[in-house]
Each structure stands twice: as structure tokens, then as C-alpha cells.
Structure 1
Amino acid sequence: MPERTPPTPPARRRETARRLRPALAGLALLGTTALVGSAPADSSLLAPPGGRLRVDTSTCGTPPEHLPAGPVSFSVTNNSKVFATLYVISPDGGLAYAEIPWLGPGKTLPLATTLTGGQYAVRCVFSSGPVLTTLPLTVVGKASGAVAGYPPMPDKEMSAPVKAYRDYVKAALPGLLAAARTLDADIARGDLAAARTDWLTAHLDYERLGAAYNSFGDFDKSLNGMANGLPQGVDTAGWTGFLAAEYGLWHGWDADRLRPVTQQLAADADELVQDFPSEDTDPGDLSLRVHEILENSLQFQLNGTADYGSGTTLATLDANVQGTEKVLDILAPVIRPRDPALLDRLQRELPDFEGKVTAYRAKDGSWTASANLTTAQRQRLDGELGRLLEELAVLPNLLTPRNHA
């Protein structure tokens, strides 16, 4: 999964408003509300009810006692000198229906959602410590497409999944190192045919660890960086890693020219094994990676952008699916209480998609190059991967830590 996009900052550090939106194709989806912008002069006639909430460390504002069922939007201004997180909650705090993850001092954002009949409240959590909740507000009537609500999740709930994933990566890294050393040994004795086979084994070992890359620091670039952006592209001196070795192996480099690349690759893998225990894994990164692994696969693997000669980007896509399945399994205990139907679908659809990818692997272990897919074949894989990404995109927000919601 080369040239990955930078990780998204933790949700609570972005001044954005979120709400749970109604089901989309049967899937409850957490999204980002539109921020206030230009509007026609009579926009107040079209604005959903809610009113203004001016909050500070002594008050969470005073919402109306009654609101009609349907879209609701509070205009929230933070009059304190600290950051505030706001939620629309059930009176007992068991469910949240909308949130502003991180509202800065003096800032205003909408707290928007769709509510059906019942009782609700607004809760304010200030970075300086106070947690305030308004008196209950009553929503009257019924609304189709109302947000079902989601159970809040404390930071500590992600501790066990993060540990489980780090344990998995730590156990897998020695295998990656052994495979890198095997590749280097092939080159040392001049056996380029064996090196081409062993290169793929080592590369896939790395790609299955895709979710951990933000814990790998600069090692991801040195181990798996593309030539894009380098001064002379593939001819840039000092380009190393799996993709540099791939380019050389399939573009006529001899063993003497390849050896510095594979030596450095093995050395970097060894250093990563030693360094990984000291690296941190942000709990928010794990839920992001479960989506971003395959998002990058769509961008770089399925269309062949990351093919440097071996024609094995579909094999990389397969390894990325396996990596996604592993992360999903580790996250399952925190997903199931919040969206069991989504988890069941993903646990069914990911293996099904993997089977369709591995259909392009021949009995001798070779893979169809992505460039050789027919238009219909590419469109089918692209469409199915796109649908998976829509469902996986729910997880980062679903699993965002929401303390005191």
C-alpha cells in the first residue's frame, strides 16, 4: 500500500460538526454536517428548528422545551475560553444522536440531526473538565429516517483492540524480516529467478500489515515508497525498498546493481523489528486503517499505478483485503454492540470479494496483471470494492472515542 495519504487527525481535534444520518441502502451512516455558508435572505423560513445555544463552563445553554419531530439543528456558540465537545443524547446518556467533536473558543457550528418523538438533551464536555447537561427537551410526533443513535465509546474501550493488533504485528514482523533476508540472499548468489519469487512473498508479508503503517514512522517510506515525486523518478539514486527492488528485478538490473537495494531492504526490516515496540499506535488510527487500506488499494493497486514490472498488484490487493479482514476481526468486539448488521455484512462481503480477486491467480501462483483485465472485469472489481469502501467508511466515526457523551 505505497504512498499512503497522511492519517486523518483525531476527530476531536477538528472544528467540524457531525450527525448520524438516516440509513443509506439499509446502513446507518455517521457523516459530517454542512457548515454554515451563504444562504438566501429567507433561509430562516427553511431552517430546521432548534435555535441558538450559547455555552460556557457554567451552562450548556437552554434548548426549547418542545420541538417537532424531524430535522433539528442548534446553532452552538462556545463562549468559554476552552474547547468544548457537544452531543445530542438520550436523557440517560445511553445513546448519542449528533456531535460537534471539538468546538474552539468563540466559534459557532451547527449541532444537527433528525429526531423522532421522545425525550433528548444536549450535553457539553469542556476540555477543562466540566460536563454539563441541559434539562430534557421533548420531541413531539414521528419522523421517518430519524437517527437511531449510537452508544458512546470511552477511550479505554479501544485499548484491547489496539493491544491485539500490536501483538499481531509484532508476531508478524520476524517473518517479514526473514523473507527480506531470503530475497537478499537470492541476489547475493545471483539467482534472479528465485529473487522474483521471493520478492513477492516478502512484499505481501509487508502489505498484510498495512493498518500498522502509521506506527512504522519513516520505515514505511523506506520499505515501500514509490518513485513518484523523486527527483529522477525510478532513476533516483538512493531509492530503496520493495518497489525499487521490483523495478530492478523486472527491468534488467543485474545482481550487482540490485544488491545494495536488497541489503538496505533487509536492514530496514531488521531496524523496524527493533523499533516497533517503542512506537505508539493511536487508537483512532486503527479504525481509520480498516477503511484506508482498501481505499489506497483502489487508488494504487487495482488500476496498476503501483506496478513496477511484476504485474502483481492484484496480489497486493488480495494481501490488503487480508489485512483489512484482520483489523475487522480485532475490532469486532467494539463494532458489534454498535452496528451488528454492518459487522455481519463486512465479515461476509470481505471474504467474498477476496475470492473474486484470487480468481485472477493461476494454479502456478502467477497473477493476472491489472493491465490485462478486460474493461468488464475491472469495472466489476472496481464496483464491488467501491461498495465495500462505502461500508468501511462508517467505522472511523462509529468507533471515535466519545468520552462523557
Structure 2
Amino acid sequence: MQRLSRSRLLALAAAGVTATGLAACGSDDDTATTGGSGAAATTAGGSSQRVAVTIGDGGCEPATASVRSGAVTFEAKNPSSSQVDEFEVLNEDGIILGEKENLAPGLSGNFSLTLQPGTYVMNCILAANGEDDPHYGKAKLTVTGGSVATPGDADDPALAKAVEQYKAYVERETAELVRGVAPFVAALKGGDLQGAKDQFGPLRMHYERIEPIAESFGDLDPQIDARVNDVADRAQWTGFHRIEQILWTKDTTKGTERYATKLQKDIGALAARVKQVEIQPAQLANGALGLLDEVANSKITGEEDRYSHTDLADFQGNLEGARKAFELLVPALKERGEGELVTTIQARFADVQEGLDAYRRKTPLGFALYDELTDADRKRFSQQIDALAEPLSLVAGKVLH
């Protein structure tokens, strides 16, 4: 987990919103209306409107915006603020439909959504503060017009099969998570320190493979996977990383018992919710890209598993989850004449995997500890991930048009 409030990409179907690739951008005749000084909205290519948002110490600028229903691309930039680093769009139920994280001063980012008529919220916040941030819920987005079709044709056999297979994959991984947490909890409660440490990384890999789904359930994800800097009140910190901190810094299982009980309960709740989730084709592509963001912004820095240094197993889990989602979309991509794009992405997945394979070890974790990575390794991995993310970011737009 990167943040307390992260993108819930796979909640979009239930909310009537689908994340789409930037290839869906619209014609120059499309316009969006924004309010507030310095606000701007422009368009480019297809039927997507653009809303430009500046994040700063005062929150979002503009404070109000209006667009027509349909495809909307949000472009967020942070000129200089160190108090705000994340832009989010939420529906009326408080579900995060899309966001851009890690917007340090001088950085910008974008994402696209298909929005139905209604009222939405735009937040520009310091992600570490989450809903406690004073800017939370300050900006208003109004979507006018009539209902629009959700991108992606559910009757497309290739896409329908991809969605069906991906949901089955997520359910299998969640079932493995449920099975694996039982002996982990038993080791914690039984005082088996080494046994608990040996199980920690391998168990988390199941969670890392399905993070886009897990993140769609906003209350469960922080309870299961928050890091200490993701929670405003440390007394409320629970989950994997709370247990990790005790195991490795105190070198004991004592004090983990109540967190173990809650972790098992939360994972059980996750498994129940996964069976009810609805998935749209675009969410496979955007979920894959989100998993690579996890690697680029968290795993590669060593801050995710900062006590155990088991980050490379998380890295592998994210990579496998991203590759699975992409591979299920390959038939649809090939039907659309995108064989060259498929070949490029597959080769770049292989490059990242080859680099990671060099750090496999015959240990319970299966990988070296993060400490073995050199600066050159981190630089190479970052470059390979960036090279993979570039063509992968095109997939959603390709399969939906």
C-alpha cells in the first residue's frame, strides 16, 4: 500500500464510472466549464473533455467545475506546494473513482474517467492526512447531460472472457490469502517467531497480486495494508505492517495477537466482498498500470516493508498481478490489430522479470532481502518499469475502441 486513500479502480463499475486510457481523448470542439481564477479546461482528439486542476496550499483550483457526461480527462499539476501531493475524484458515496498520487512540487499527472450525470467531489490533499486533511471535499464537480454508455462492449467475446478469467484469478488469489493467513496467525499466537517471519512475505504476495481489487474496498485496504505513515492516529494502525514492525523491531510475537485476530477477520471480509465485485474491461488495464505504480513509488524505494526488507517479494506479486491482467486482454488487443503493441509490452515484462529473477534465493521468502539491491539495481529497475508503463498505459484505450 502506498497511501491511506488510494485509487479504487475496480469499484468504478458499481459506481457507474470506468477509468479509460488517454487514447480516448476527444475532439477540439468539446469544452468543459471551470470556475475560479487560473482554471482551464481544453480538449484534444475524440470525445474526451479535459479539466485542468492546480493543487496547492489552498486545495484545488478551480473550486468548482462543470462538464458534460461522458469521457473526461483530469490533468493535475503541483507548481510548488509541499502541503498537498494528491488529487482525487470521488462520487457522492465517497468512493474514489480516480486519483493521481505523489505529486511533489513541479510534478503533474493525469487520468481519464467516463462520468455519468451527477455531483462529484475533487480533493487536493496531503495523502498522509487522508480524510483528516482540511482540504478534503472542498471542490465540486458537476456533470450535466444524459446518461452515457460505459466504455467497452460487455458483449465483445474477447473482453467478456478477459473479465471472467480475471475475476476467477482474483477469487483464487483471495482464497489462497484466506488459507495462508490461518497458519500465520497460529504462529503469531503460538509464539513461533521464525515461523511467523518466514510466512510474512509469501503470504503478502497473494495480497499484492490483487491490490487493485483490495483497494476498491476503502475501509479494508488501510486496515490490512497501511504503513505507519498512512495513518493519522497510530493507535488505529493495524494489519500486515503493524505486525511486521513488532516482529522485526522487537523480535517477538508478543503484542501481535490482537492484530493477528483482526487481520484474519479483515481478510475474510475481503474474500466475501471480492465475490460480489463487478469488473469492467478497462479496469484490467488500469489496474495493471496501478500495480506498476506500486513498484515504482513504493517497492523500489524499500519503504513498503521497511522493517523486514521483504520488498522484492511484494515487487514480484505486483508484477505478476499486472502481467496477468494484461495477458488476459491480449486476445482483444490482437483482434484490434495491436499485435506490435502486445509484443512490445510482453518483451518489457520479460525484461523486468529477468532483472528480478537475479535476486531469487532458496529461502522461505524466495528472494534476497532489499538490502542486497545496489543503487545501480534500483536505477535499472526504475528504468525498466518506466519503459513498461509507457506502452501499457495505451492498453485501456486500445481495447475499448
CA distance in 1, matches of 2:47, 2:279: 35
**Which residue is 2:290 aligned to?**
292
Q: Does the aligned pair in 1 maintain the 2:285–2:392 contact within 8 Å? A: no
- Tell me the alpha carbon deviations over residues 67-87 of structure 1, each in whole angstroms, 9 at most, x when there is no partner: xxxx999999xxxx974679x
SS in 1 for 2:6: coil
**Which residue is 1:181 aligned to?**
182
**Which residue is 1:190 aligned to?**
191
CA distance in 1, matches of 2:46, 2:204: 49
The structure-2 alpha-carbon separation of the partners of 1:238 and 1:328, relative to structure 1 and needing over 3 Å to count, comes to same
> What is the number of equivalent residue pairs in this alignment?
297
CA distance in 1, matches of 2:288, 2:366: 27
Residue identity in the other structure for 1:287: A
The structure-2 alpha-carbon separation of the partners of 1:286 and 1:218, relative to structure 1 and needing over 3 Å to count, comes to farther
CA distance in 2, matches of 1:155, 1:374: 46
CA distance in 2, matches of 1:102, 1:32: 14
Q: Does the aligned pair in 1 maintain the 2:152–2:281 contact within 8 Å? A: no
- Tell me the alpha carbon deviations over residues 130-171 of structure 1, each in whole angstroms, 9 at most, x when there is no partner: x9xxxxxxxxxxxxxxxxxxxx95243343322211111112
Residue identity in the other structure for 2:308: S
**Superposition deviation, residue 351 in structure 1:** 2.8
**Superposition deviation, residue 215 in structure 1:** 4.4
SS in 2 for 1:309: coil
Range 244-253 or range 190-199, more displaced:
244-253
**Which residue is 1:265 aligned to?**
263
Q: Does the aligned pair in 2 maintain the 1:312–1:369 contact within 8 Å? A: yes
CA distance in 1, matches of 2:291, 2:351: 17
**Which residue is 1:388 aligned to?**
388
Are residues 1:345 and 2:361 paired?
Answer: no
TM-score normalised according to structure 1 size: 0.63
Are residues 1:281 and 2:279 paired?
Answer: yes
The structure-2 alpha-carbon separation of the partners of 1:103 and 1:206, relative to structure 1 and needing over 3 Å to count, comes to closer
Residue identity in the other structure for 2:373: L
- Tell me the alpha carbon deviations over residues 243-290 of structure 1, each in whole angstroms, 9 at most, x when there is no partner: 111111111153230111112111111222223222333443222101
CA distance in 1, matches of 2:265, 2:361: 33
CA distance in 2, matches of 1:251, 1:165: 38
**Which residue is 1:362 aligned to?**
361
**Which residue is 1:303 aligned to?**
301
**Which residue is 1:249 aligned to?**
247
**Superposition deviation, residue 238 in structure 1:** 3.2
Are residues 1:163 and 2:161 paired?
Answer: no
**Which residue is 2:235 aligned to?**
237
**Which residue is 1:6 aligned to?**
7
CA distance in 2, matches of 1:222, 1:368: 27
**Which residue is 1:376 aligned to?**
376
CA distance in 2, matches of 1:103, 1:183: 44
CA distance in 1, matches of 2:166, 2:294: 20
SS in 2 for 1:237: helix
- Tell me the alpha carbon deviations over residues 67-125 of structure 1, each in whole angstroms, 9 at most, x when there is no partner: xxxx999999xxxx974679xxxxxxxxxxxx997799xxxxxxxxxxxxxxxxxxxxx
Q: Does the aligned pair in 1 maintain the 2:27–2:47 contact within 8 Å? A: no
SS in 2 for 1:342: helix
CA distance in 2, matches of 1:354, 1:173: 23
CA distance in 2, matches of 1:190, 1:226: 23
Residue identity in the other structure for 1:202: L
**Which residue is 2:120 aligned to?**
none
Range 324-333 or range 185-194, more displaced:
324-333
Residue identity in the other structure for 2:296: L
Max radius of gyration: which structure?
1
CA distance in 2, matches of 1:382, 1:312: 18
**Superposition deviation, residue 352 in structure 1:** 3.0
CA distance in 2, matches of 1:299, 1:389: 13
The structure-2 alpha-carbon separation of the partners of 1:346 and 1:267, relative to structure 1 and needing over 3 Å to count, comes to same
TM-score normalised according to structure 2 size: 0.63
CA distance in 1, matches of 2:356, 2:240: 22
**Which residue is 1:334 aligned to?**
332
Q: Does the aligned pair in 2 maintain the 1:214–1:285 contact within 8 Å? A: no
CA distance in 1, matches of 2:48, 2:239: 51
**Which residue is 2:105 aligned to?**
none
**Superposition deviation, residue 389 in structure 1:** 0.8
Residue identity in the other structure for 2:206: D
- Tell me the alpha carbon deviations over residues 31-70 of structure 1, each in whole angstroms, 9 at most, x when there is no partner: 6889989xxxxxxxxxxxxxxxxxxxxxxxxxxxxxxxxx
SS in 1 for 2:256: helix
The structure-2 alpha-carbon separation of the partners of 1:354 and 1:127, relative to structure 1 and needing over 3 Å to count, comes to same
CA distance in 2, matches of 1:276, 1:75: 31
